[in-house]
Amino acid sequence: MNDEPLILLHGWGMHAGVFEPLLELLDPAQQIITPGLPGYRGSPWPGNLPFELQLEAMARELPDGRLLGWSLGGLYAIELASRYPQQFSQVILVACNPCFTRRPGWECALDAAVLDTFTDELRQGWRRTLRRFLALQMQGEDEARPLVRSVWQQMIAVDEPDIAVLDFGLELLKNWDARPSLGQLSQPVNLILGERDRLVPISLRQQIADVASGIQVESVAGAAHAPFLSNPAVVALRL
């Protein structure tokens, strides 16, 4: 077991409670930190504070340790490790694309129009938007409906989300390109992908080598965008 704390960063629209199935399978002696991303449950929203300053504030609050970032949380993990290499010794990315939308020469990503649609729908109602996003995350899973139902109940059990926070996250997913930061990391990086993921295609497994040759990539058979929910034992073992 690694003695350093393992810091888990959740994805868009979620909160740290989403990791519970995974936590139950990790060594109880392992120190686990589950902060909320800025604006999510347990973490204040700094308003119009730029992403870089949000990272600075997070680094002040977090201990030294290993970072695990799922989906949007992976962008935070990459940039935290890039800016504070002495603080964060390893980066584990779960279903995270360093550049979530297609660019010239980067086809293993989403069409930006997908995120634009969610942004437009968010204005009409956060519940429908989050439910649709959740369904897209689980699409391809053998047990997609029970997973959606379970996570949805978790999501609506907490306070109503701040639309500005959700807007910010969608903009980050659409526009932020963490490939330069990822390519310059000196820490070991592991990438865990779901073979059936509709948001982060499995083809990233090949193209990530264009960003950094030393990234260790593993895939989880039968899993979609949340392999730690559908296959928690497999992910726990790989951690």
125-135 tens-digit pLDDT: 888 888 888 88
142 classed as catalytic: no
Beta carbons of 196 and 222 less than 8 angstroms apart:
yes
Q: Is 118 a member of any domain?
A: yes
Q: Is 38 a member of any domain?
A: yes
Phi, psi (5° rounding) for residue 124?
A: -90, -20
15 classed as catalytic: no
Task: Give me the number of domains the chain comprises.
Answer: 1
Catalytic residue among 15, 43, 197, 230: 197
Domain that holds residue 21: 6-238
For residue 148, the cross-strand partners are none
Q: What is the mean pLDDT of the chain?
A: 90
Q: Is 208 a member of any domain?
A: yes
Give the strand order in the sheet containing 216-220.
32-33, 6-9, 65-70, 88-94, 189-194, 216-220
Q: Is 129 a member of any domain?
A: yes
Catalytic residue among 15, 43, 71, 181: 71
Say which CATH number the domain at 148 has: 3.40.50.1820
Nearest-10 Cα torsion for 34, 40, 43, 48: 130
Query: Quick check: 80 pLDDT over 60?
Result: yes
Query: Quick check: 178 pLDDT over 90?
Result: yes
Q: What is the DSSP letter of 208?
A: G
Beta carbons of 18 and 26 less than 8 angstroms apart:
no
167 classed as catalytic: no
Percent of the chain, pLDDT > 70?
Answer: 95
Beta carbons of 196 and 141 less than 8 angstroms apart:
yes
Q: Is 178 a member of any domain?
A: yes
pLDDT score of 169: 94
pLDDT score of 2: 63
pLDDT score of 57: 93
Q: Is 177 a member of any domain?
A: yes
Find which of 92-101, 161-170, 223-232 is predicted with most confidence, using mean pLDDT.
92-101
Pairing mode, strands 189-194 and 88-94: parallel
Q: Is 1 a member of any domain?
A: no
Q: Would you place residue 177 in the very low, low, confident or very high pLDDT band (cuts 50, 70, 90)?
A: very high
- Output 156 or 86, whichever has higher pLDDT: 86
